[in-house]
């Protein structure tokens, strides 16, 4: 069984605005990376993301970026369950729909087929679902859903 998942959501903003809200660290820090993001998501870059619920900056290795279409990056699996030491791959896709709306899909793959890998994949699936909700609330209404949620 391959441990992979995909979550998706629709945001009532043009694809260029939604894409920029992910690649720009200042914007990403407003609704997602509760501890801040450093570095713009550009092909070949390594940036850091920090979260209050998982303290410590996570290195994010950017594999590919196609403006207004997709972002592919790798990041390390949390090894606190004894199953770390490898990366998963996250692919974010941005698709214009219904005029000025955007379908954002996020797929994460590469988890080891272990109990810890299964637990980690479920946790990240939950996290990416929350990220999409937070992105929608921020871009459409200027509300930061994550503020005070974890700390």
Domains recognised in the chain with CATH numbers:
3-141 (3.30.530.20)
> What average pLDDT does range 38-45 have in this prediction?
98
Contact between residue 31 and residue 143 where contact means Cβ atoms under 8 Å apart: no
What is the per-residue pLDDT across 95-104, written as a single tens digit (0 to 9) for each?
Answer: 999 889 999 9
Give dist(CA 4, CA 128) in Å, integer: 13
Span 86-128, pLDDT tens digits: 999 999 999 999 889 999 999 999 999 998 888 889 999 999 9
Distances (CA, A) of 130 to 50, 82, 121: 16, 25, 14
Q: Residue 74 is encoded by which pair of tokens?
A: 């790798």
**Nearest Cα to Cα of residue 5 among 119, 84, 148:** 119
Closest listed residue to residue 69, CA positions, set 20, 123, 4 = 20
Q: Name the helix (H) or strand (E) containing 17.
A: helix 15-23
* In contact, 151 and 52? CB cutoff 8 Å: yes
- At residue 122, the pLDDT reads 92
Tell me the pTM. 0.93
Task: Give the integer Cα–Cα distance in Å for 4 and 19.
Answer: 23
Write down the residue that tokens 């479920």 correspond to.
122
Contacts of 140 (CB under 8 A, 6+ apart): 11, 12, 13
């Amino acid at each position: 069984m391959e441990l992979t998942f995909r979550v998706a959501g629709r945001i009532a903003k043009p694809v260029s605005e939604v894409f920029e809200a992910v690649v720009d660290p200042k914007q990403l820090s407003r609704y997602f990376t509760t501890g801040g993001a450093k570095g713009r998501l550009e092909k070949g870059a390594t940036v850091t993301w920090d979260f209050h619920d998982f303290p410590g900056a996570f290195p994010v290795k950017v594999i590919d970026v196609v403006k207004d279409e997709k972002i592919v990056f790798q990041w390390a699996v949390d090894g606190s369950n004894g199953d770390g030491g490898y990366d998963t791959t996250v692919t974010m896709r941005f698709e214009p729909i219904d005029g000025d709306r955007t379908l954002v899909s996020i797929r994460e793959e590469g988890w080891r087929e272990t109990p810890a890998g299964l637990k980690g994949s479920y946790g990240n699936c939950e996290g990416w679902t929350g990220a999409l909700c937070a992105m929608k609330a921020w871009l459409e209404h200027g509300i930061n859903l994550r503020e005070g949620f974890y700390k």
